[in-house]
Amino acid sequence: MPLHSQMPLAMDLSLSSAPLPAPDAQAERGVKPLFVIDGELRVHFNNRGASALAQEGIGAGDRFVTRDKTFSARLQSWLRRCRAGSDGDGLRLALETESGRQVSVDAVHLAGTELFILTVDDPHRTLDGNLARIVEDCGLTPMEARMLRLIVEGLDTVIAASRLGIAPTTARTHLQRLFAKTGTARQSELVRFVATYVEELR
């Protein structure tokens, strides 16, 4: 087969409005939110991760708008500079969601166009996704899953036991089972395992 026939066609972001084919649930998890906007904040494209942020008051509808006035002012100032040709560098901004969580937005100018790419780093969403994958991949019981979340939140076994309504000795037993199922030996290792978890390819 000729080499050029194997190359993917470039996507016309400025004209693309057809719905994307729905991925399966496995592929959908952990999608990093991405928006393509123009200088007037009109959204030309957004992926499934971005659509999920609408309930947090980020990028709902056909415009990239938020209630964080400081973020909006800085983003629009950067967009104006880019359109005037006085700023070609990327930008990273902190954004507060409606629920009060802090996320980071990276913005870059799509060279040769009037379009800009925004990606959202959401540590909380990433952690939730990692926990869900670990529960499934490591075969955790519901109680072990609850114990793991409390450990990741920084609680020791005594406080975790109190939260779960179980004896400290039972909590320690659950912790030992978590160590065995995740291949870790200490709570610090367990927390790092969750934070850096990469799902095994199947």
Q: Give tens-digit pLDDT for 136-152.
A: 999 999 999 999 999 98
Report residue 197's pLDDT band, with 50, 70 and 90 as the boundaries: confident
Nearest Cα to Cα of residue 28 among 47, 45, 13, 43 = 47
pTM of the model: 0.56
Residues 6+ apart with CB under 8 A from 111: none
Q: In what order do the strands lie in the sheet with 102-109?
A: 43-46, 34-38, 115-121, 102-109, 91-96
Q: Which of 6-10, 95-99, 104-108, 117-121 has the lowest mean pLDDT?
A: 6-10
Please report which residue ranges of 38-156 form alpha helices under DSSP H.
Answer: 48-51, 69-83, 123-137, 142-152
Please state the domain extents for the chain.
33-121, 125-195
- Whether pLDDT at 101 is above 50: yes
Average per-residue pLDDT for the chain: 81
Report residue 199's pLDDT band, with 50, 70 and 90 as the boundaries: low
> For 34-45, what is each residue's pLDDT tens digit?
999 999 999 999
Query: What percentage of the chain has pLDDT greater than the value 70?
Result: 82
User: Is 33-121 assigned to CATH 2.60.40.290?
Assistant: no
CATH code of the domain occupying 125-195: 1.10.10.10
Q: What pLDDT score does 15 carry? A: 37
**Quick check: 16 and 45 in contact, CB under 8 A?**
yes
Report residue 30's pLDDT band, with 50, 70 and 90 as the boundaries: low
Q: What is the sign of the dihedral through the CA atoms of 160, 164, 167 and 173?
A: negative
- Which contacts (CB < 8 Å, 24+ apart) does range 137-143 have? 137/199, 137/200, 138/181, 138/182, 139/181, 140/178, 140/181, 143/174
- Whether pLDDT at 28 is above 80: no
Q: What pLDDT score does 17 carry? A: 39
Query: What percentage of the chain has pLDDT greater than the value 90?
Result: 48
Report residue 126's pLDDT band, with 50, 70 and 90 as the boundaries: confident
